[in-house]
Each structure stands twice: as structure tokens, then as C-alpha cells.
Amino acid sequence: MRVFKFGGASVKDANGVKNVVSVLKKVGYDNTLIVVSAMGKTTNALEVVLDNYFNNQSELQSSVQDIKKFHNAILLDLFDDEAHPVFETVGKLFSELDYFLEKNKSPDYNFVYDQVVGFGELVSTTIISHYMEQQEVHNNWLDVRNLIKTDNFYRRANVDWDLTQHNIQEQVNQKELNITQGFLGSDANNFTTTLGREGSDYTAAIFAYCLNAESVTIWKDVVGVLNADPRYFENAQLLNKISYTEAIELAFYGASVIHPKTLQPLQRKEIPLYVKSFLNPEQSGTVVNKGFGIEPKVPCFILKQKQVLVSLSTLDFSYVVEENISDIFNLLHQFKMKVDVIQNSAISFSVCFENNYNNLDKLLQQLKAKFKVTCHENVSLYTIRHYNQAAITAMEKNKSILLKQILGETVQIVTK
């Protein structure tokens, strides 16, 4: 069994959908399961719907209509006959979305988020499945919410591995081509949950683990895993091979090509992960498997933007000791802050984190009761793996350095 994952960029329009079928015909699709993301920027568009739902009801229907029009244009490009059953099936999914937005009573943003954004993947896989059938690529459409079961930690749900493995092994026909949604699961009450943004890679790894797959391939719009994001860094190089351990390090620090949770289940069963170009499917790309380090061994650059840097010291200038640090981490956990860098000295403690849940003001209010607090919002965090002095010098040029930390082969720099 092989697992393929196609992201939003690969299915952003009708030509992208056609190219997916072309890729499958070139590389084969027997004994294969395909995980697909929402089309293009649909998840972002659904986040606009959410914002309007909570904050600007007058624009709600307009934002929903934009998404319907986007997908309908793709349908009209792919299917000649509007009587094709795909139009009715997609229409029913959007009717479910409309019904939820009309009838929902929950004020919990995170719960509502998961119920709404999941429609992106449900619609995309429905369209692609029907188009593949039209092209005589026969497939089974699977609702991933019946397979991947999670807790109710909405927007970053935790997988119930035992139940998920049982469901997948019972319900997936490994002798056929299957297509399902990335990013989604469901809780004990069958409400939709999500695995975190960019969680479709993780979905592919979950299926690979549960199916004892021979490999996972993530199809991207790049040639493979690069040592830097070419949107922000010049002269990015292809990494031919990466060990699981090194890839986990890169993912932990924020490398955008591989989702942080994706690699652990693959490493447990030594399932190789390929990152390849859907534009040039016959190129070798990058392989992640057991071994050591990276090839070639060059500095790897990672940028995380829109971070928050908070520096703390005790009000009486006493030492920052274990009890203080414990209090700080309890608050960071309470307000769902994802910590990326920690630095402490005898009388100060600094932490750089992501404010994904917009709880910064609440956190600062709590911290100011016990500490002197300095806060820098909208800072950038640069990480260099396998750094050299030239890489550090280039990174620091023309930047205001707020924090710098070197640990082993990694340097992290927070800049304003």
C-alpha cells in the first residue's frame, strides 16, 4: 500500500485536478490511498467566513457565496454536463454548511472553526473523486471522519490511535484506489475535528502507520525539501536525503514542507517519506528515512513570522527559580501558546511563542501580577540548523536583534 498526499496548491484549479490524474497515470495508482487538502486557498476563505460569522454578519452570505462560486467554476471546467451527479453532491455539502451557520448555538470559536473549515476538504475530494471516475480512474471516496477518531481539542485534536487503527484496517480496501480528506477527524460525538493547520501531511502519516504502507509521497509545487523557503531566502538548495531525526528537528523549528507530527509515526515503522514535485513527478525529489543528518550538509534556514517575545523578571529582582518557571509554563499552557524559544538567566526569563488563539492580553494580565513584563509583538524568529559564521552574519545583517541563542548545531535569532 502506498499513501499519496496532494496539497491545496496541487488542486487549486481545474488544471490542477487534471494534473493529479496525470500524475497517477504516470506513477501508478494500484494499492494506493490519496489524501487531499482543500482547493487552493479555500481554508483561508473559510476562515473569512468564520470571522464574518462572529464579527460581521452582513458579509457572511457574500463570503460563503464566493467559495461556492470558486468551486462551481472548477466543476464547470471539469464536467461538461451540469446534470452530472457531482453538482448535486457538492450542492448538498454546501447546504450542510449553510444549515450549520444558521442553526449553530455554540459560542466556542474553536468548535465552530472545525465544523466550518472541514467543508473545504470534503468538497475537494468529492470533486476529484468524480473527475477520476470520469477519466476511468476508479476509486473509493472515504469520509475520513469515520476513520480518524480524536479527542475534542478543537483545532489541534489528538488522535485516538487504537480506535483509528481499528477503523482504518476494517474499512479501507487496500486492493483499490482510495481517496480521502486530509486535516480532519471526528470526536466521540461525531463532531468534526481538525489536526492543526497543514495537518494533511499528518493524515497521510496516520494512514501509512495504520496500513503498514510501503511509503508516503507528499506531492508539492517544489522539487523536494529545500534548505530554505525560496519565498524568503535566496539560492535555496535541494536536500536529497534527510534522516527522520533531522527532519523532526527541522519540522520542530518550523520548516514548512513537513508537518511537525508527520514524521513520528513513520519513523516508528521505518516508512520512507518522499517529497516530490507534482509538476515533474518522475524527478527523484527528497527522501526522508533512517540514517544520519542531511545530504548535502549545508545550513538550513527557517523563518517564523508574527511571533511574540515576552521577557520577564521578578518584581523584587530575586532569582527566577523553579517555582517561577513552573507558574509561567502553566500560564502558557492555559492560554494555548505554542512555545518556540526559551532563554533564562538568574534574574530573567524570555520566551518566544505563537499567539494562535489570541489570548495574549489575558496572558500578559496574569503575568504582570507576578513579574515585570516586556512584550514585543510581531517579531520574526530565524532558525539556522548546521550553521556557520557566514550564515549567521548574513542572517543578522540590517536587523535589530532581540534575542540570540546557540544550542548544538542550531542558532535561533529573534528580530524586530
pLDDT tens-digit profile, the chain (416 residues): 999 999 999 999 999 999 999 999 999 999 999 999 999 999 999 999 999 999 999 999 999 999 999 999 999 999 999 999 999 999 999 999 999 999 999 999 999 999 999 999 999 999 999 999 999 999 999 999 999 999 999 999 999 999 999 999 999 999 999 999 999 999 999 999 999 877 999 999 999 999 999 999 999 988 999 999 989 999 999 999 999 999 989 988 988 768 768 999 999 999 999 999 999 999 999 999 999 899 999 999 999 999 999 999 999 989 999 999 999 999 999 999 999 999 999 999 999 999 999 999 999 999 999 999 999 999 999 999 999 999 999 999 999 999 999 999 999 999 99
β-sheet bridge partners, residue 385: 300, 410
Residue 190, pLDDT score: 98
Residue 197, pLDDT score: 72
CB 180 within 8 A of CB 129: no
- How many other CB atoms sit within 10 Å of the CB of residue 363? 23
Residue 255, pLDDT score: 85
Task: Give backbone dihedrals phi and psi of 76, rounded to 5 degrees, phi first.
Answer: -65, -30
Residue 198, pLDDT score: 72
Question: What is residue 148's three-state secondary structure?
Answer: coil
β-sheet bridge partners, residue 5: 35, 218
Bridging pattern class, strands 192-194 and 371-385: unpaired
Query: What pTM did the predictor assign?
Result: 0.84
Burial of 280 (C-beta count, 10 Å sphere; 0-12/13-18/19+): exposed
Core vs surface per residue 154-181: b (16+ CB within 10 A) or e: bbbbebbeeebbebbeeebeeeebbbbb
